Amino acid sequence: MGRHMRNLFVAGCVLLWLLPLYLLVVNSLTPADEYTGSVDWTPQGFAFFDNLESAWVDAGIGDSFGSSMLYAVVCGAVAVLVAAMAAFAVIVLPIPRPALWFWVIFSGTLFPLQIFLAPLFGMYADANLYDSRLGLMLVYAAWAVPFAFFLIRNQMTTMPPELTEAAMIDGASMRRIFWRIHVPLMRSGLGAAFIFQFTAVWNDLLFGITLSRSPEIQPVMATLNSLNQAYSSAGPPVVLAGALVVSLPTLLVFLVFRGLFLRGITASAR
């Protein structure tokens, strides 16, 4: 009886998750000039590519899509590399008070992002970093480090210290130990951390609308947010078609690397 109830509960949760996705797909197919303003539960035509063209070209989602891909890939990779080095320093190197350094770095995940917006905006305006790709890449990379550090550090604690001791006896430097021993053994954890940070940067809206305004600089979520206001005459199907395409990269990254992601999460949770 308990097993059946659990299965029914899981099935209900799946249906609740799939229902908005179904409505998103169905209403993105409706021709924009035929949209009545009410939710369509069945397809009323097939104008998805016309709606997508309006969102991609006229609203500038295509430019911001490329910008977000740059931010997510580069900043995610940089954040994972910095986090791995920080975790190596805290776990392996003989630094004083490693627990203190852990909390200093991890505290970046504990504060709400809103408290950083006002000082960041002022600093960026003074340093001419406002509305620039470099400015957004700096904040995204810094923002992604603490959680990546947490995941990688947890996996690194499971590695036997005898590996480092044996390498040091053989005369290996700390740089060589990091790149030749720890990085290869932490591939799954590094991959899981990158997927998390890729998704976080891709889905960011707050920094995008605060620190940029140009369509070619703004991340795709900021452009999608302004699409409904700037092109309200185009109709909701155009916005929904854009939202559907914008959601695909994170889904594809997870599906392609799901094995690596699951191994990394398992290793970090030990």
Q: Which range of residues forms the domain containing residue 182?
A: 61-95+105-268
pLDDT at site 13: 87
Q: Which pLDDT tens digits describe the chain residue by residue (270 residues)?
A: 567 788 888 888 888 888 888 877 887 777 777 777 777 777 777 777 777 777 777 767 878 888 899 999 999 999 999 999 999 999 888 888 888 988 888 888 888 888 888 888 888 888 889 989 999 999 999 999 999 998 888 888 888 888 888 888 888 888 888 888 888 888 888 888 899 899 999 999 889 888 988 888 889 888 887 776 654 556 777 878 888 888 888 888 888 777 766 666 665 555
Find the CATH number of the domain harbouring 264: 1.10.3720.10
In a domain, residue 139? The reply is: yes
- Other beta carbons less than 10 A from residue 127's beta carbon: 11
Domain-embedded: residue 248: yes
> Would residue 141 count as lying in a domain?
yes
Q: 24 in a domain, yes or no?
A: no
For residues 260 and 112, give the distance between their C-alpha atoms in angstroms, rounded to a whole number. 30
Residue 126 burial (CB count, 10 A)? 9
- pTM listed for this prediction: 0.84
Number of continuous H segments (helices) and E segments (strands) in the chain: 16, 0
Distance from chain centroid for Cα 22: 23
Whether residue 162 is contained in a domain is answered as yes
240: Cα within 13 Å, side-chain hemisphere: 21
Position 145 scores a pLDDT of: 93
Please check whether residue 52 lies inside any domain of the structure: no
pLDDT at site 237: 79
Helix, strand, coil: what percent of the chain each, to 5? 75, 0, 25
Provide the pLDDT for residue 201. Answer: 93
- How many other C-beta atoms lie within 10 A of the C-beta of residue 86? 20
What's the number of domains the chain is made of? 1
Domain-located, residue 51: no
Measured CA to CA, the distance from residue 206 to residue 117 in angstroms comes to 9
d(CA 77, CA 12) in angstroms, rounded, equals 37
Domain annotation covers residue 197:
yes
